[in-house]
């Protein structure tokens, strides 16, 4: 998505030590949906303590104060459309010269008129979620009938209005077999960016009705995504930086991974799309939570990322650039000061493992990513 004085040489093509690439603002936890994997455990009404309009303005002032290259702001939630002052805040961000996108819930409130107002307010990017290739799957995950059809309709309307669109898909055991069909839906809609969120057990996703994949399953999906990236669509991941390792291994070794899940996904992909004919468009470097990414919760609490609820401070009594640049955990992440297999890995600069998954599993944001097949193999062998 995705010189570095705090990190190894060649770590990034851009210096993320001074400013993140993306800042996510969880404007509210209010949302008309009740998705089974929701990070925010979103509810129908706003929680007490959400940043006020004036406090939102001050937050955006702090974003602008990062300097020459401030981060792009992603207005998210919950559902940002549940904020009555959303368009005021978008206008304020526009007047500050900030770049921003919006990630709304697909509800009855996401009409063509609403999308047009978002475009007029200066939002150039829009992300929508699609977690199944058919209504039965997607609507069950979103826990509201009709969301699949509304998502496809909103995607077409947003494309017509000129938004840079992104489709987000959560990778979990319940939906993994539908990934080729979801990709096929994207191509039919002529959508050019697919971002896949590998499940982290936080929020409602930790309540037991969703299931993450074992390391071998993650390796299979990552190899499938390498194949999918050869059809001219931009493919990105959240909490699966090991995709960058898989890219290097595929370049060096070819098809090194032979697993039943991967064989099924690859077969379904080529049946639907034909054989890929383009070079992979996967990025060789990218971001991690706290290294190019920063997250501000609805009450102003600052986290390294939306799926890594480690408190760094609060924008109401702290300075956002100082928090990002100086907090010791973020400096350690940017130095790749990890433990275990991730700390010893020769590809830690390019990958780095999911800090959110390490934290959710062990309570240590610097531990190894248990979803990486290399890390799990290293631990099985005693380090």
Q: pLDDT for 271-325, tens place per residue? A: 999 999 999 999 999 999 999 999 999 999 999 999 999 999 999 998 999 999 9
Give strand pairing partners of 26. 76
pLDDT band at 34 (very low <50, low <70, confident <90, very high): low
For the chain, the distance separating the N- and C-terminal CA atoms, rounded to the nearest angstrom, is: 31
Q: Could you write out the three-class secondary structure of 215-242?
A: HHHHHHHHHHHHHHHHHCCEEEEECCCH
Q: How many domains does the chain have?
A: 1
Give pLDDT, residue 174.
Answer: 87
- Report whether pLDDT(4) > 60: no
pLDDT tens-digit readout, 210-242: 688 999 999 999 999 999 999 999 999 999 999
Report the mean per-residue pLDDT for the chain.
89
User: Please, are residues 86 and 109 in contact by the beta-carbon 8 Å criterion?
Assistant: no
- Report whether pLDDT(382) > 50: no
Q: Is 383 within the bounds of a domain? A: no
User: Please, are residues 62 and 320 in contact by the beta-carbon 8 Å criterion?
Assistant: yes
Q: Is 344 within the bounds of a domain? A: no
Q: Is 318 within the bounds of a domain? A: no
Looking up tokens 């819930």 gives: 105
Give pLDDT, residue 6.
Answer: 31
Q: What are the DSSP calls for 323-334, one per residue?
A: HHHH-HHHHHHH
Q: Is 255 within the bounds of a domain? A: yes
User: Please, are residues 203 and 155 in contact by the beta-carbon 8 Å criterion?
Assistant: no
Q: Which residue, among 119, 144, 116, has the nearest Cα to 131 in the 3D structure?
A: 144
Give pLDDT, residue 11.
Answer: 40
Q: Is 16 within the bounds of a domain? A: no
Give pLDDT, residue 1.
Answer: 34
Give strand pairing partners of 234. 193
Strand 22-26 relative to strand 292-296, pairing: parallel
Q: Is 75 within the bounds of a domain? A: yes
What is the b/e burial string over 164-194, where b = at least 16 CB atoms within 10 angstroms of the residue's CB? ebbbbbbbbebbbebbbbbbbbbbebebebb
Q: Is 342 within the bounds of a domain? A: no
Token reading at 247: 């890219």
Give pLDDT, residue 60.
Answer: 98
Here the CATH number for the domain that contains residue 111 is 3.20.20.70
Give pLDDT, residue 374.
Answer: 86
- Report whether pLDDT(182) > 50: yes
Q: Is 366 within the bounds of a domain? A: no
DSSP state of 47: P
Token reading at 39: 């990070």
Q: Name the residue range of residue 245's domain.
A: 22-288
Give pLDDT, residue 8.
Answer: 34
Q: Which residue, among 4, 23, 22, has the nearest Cα to 14 in the 3D structure?
A: 4
């Amino acid at each position: 998505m995705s010189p570095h004085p705090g990190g190894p040489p060649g770590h990034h093509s851009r210096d993320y030590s001074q400013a993140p690439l993306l800042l996510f603002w969880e404007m509210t936890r209010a949302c008309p949906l009740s998705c089974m994997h929701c990070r925010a455990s979103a509810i129908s009404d706003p929680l007490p303590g959400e940043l006020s309009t004036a406090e939102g303005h001050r937050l955006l002032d702090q974003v602008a104060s990062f300097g020459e290259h401030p981060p792009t702001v992603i207005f998210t939630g919950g559902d940002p459309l549940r904020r009555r002052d959303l368009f005021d805040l978008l206008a304020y961000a526009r007047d500050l010269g900030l770049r921003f996108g919006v990630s709304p819930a697909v509800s009855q409130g996401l009409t063509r008129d609403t999308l047009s107002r978002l475009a007029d307010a200066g939002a150039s990017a829009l992300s929508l979620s699609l977690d199944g290739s058919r209504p039965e799957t997607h609507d069950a995950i979103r826990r509201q009938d009709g969301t699949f059809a509304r998502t496809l309709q909103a995607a077409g309307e947003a494309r017509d209005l000129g938004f840079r669109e992104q489709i987000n898909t959560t990778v979990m055991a319940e939906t993994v077999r539908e990934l080729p069909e979801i990709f096929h839906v994207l191509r039919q809609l002529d959508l050019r960016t697919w971002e896949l969120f590998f499940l982290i057990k936080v929020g409602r996703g930790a309540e037991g009705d969703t299931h993450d994949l074992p390391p071998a399953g993650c390796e299979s999906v990552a190899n499938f995504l390498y194949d999918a990236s050869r059809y001219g669509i931009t493919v990105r991941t959240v909490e699966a930086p090991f995709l960058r390792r898989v890219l290097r291994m595929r370049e060096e070794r070819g098809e090194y991974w032979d697993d039943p899940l991967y064989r099924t996904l690859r077969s379904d992909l080529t049946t639907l799309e034909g054989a890929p004919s383009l070079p992979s468009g996967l990025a060789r470097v990218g971001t991690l939570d706290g290294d190019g990414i920063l997250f501000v919760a609805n009450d102003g609490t600052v986290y390294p990322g939306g799926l890594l609820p480690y408190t760094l401070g609060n924008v109401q009594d702290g300075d956002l650039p100082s928090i990002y640049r100086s907090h010791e955990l973020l400096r350690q992440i940017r130095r790749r000061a990890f433990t275990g297999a991730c700390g010893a890995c020769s590809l830690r600069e390019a990958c780095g493992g999911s800090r959110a998954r390490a934290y959710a599993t062990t309570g240590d944001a610097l531990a190894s990513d248990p979803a990486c097949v290399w890390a799990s193999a290293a631990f099985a062998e005693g380090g």
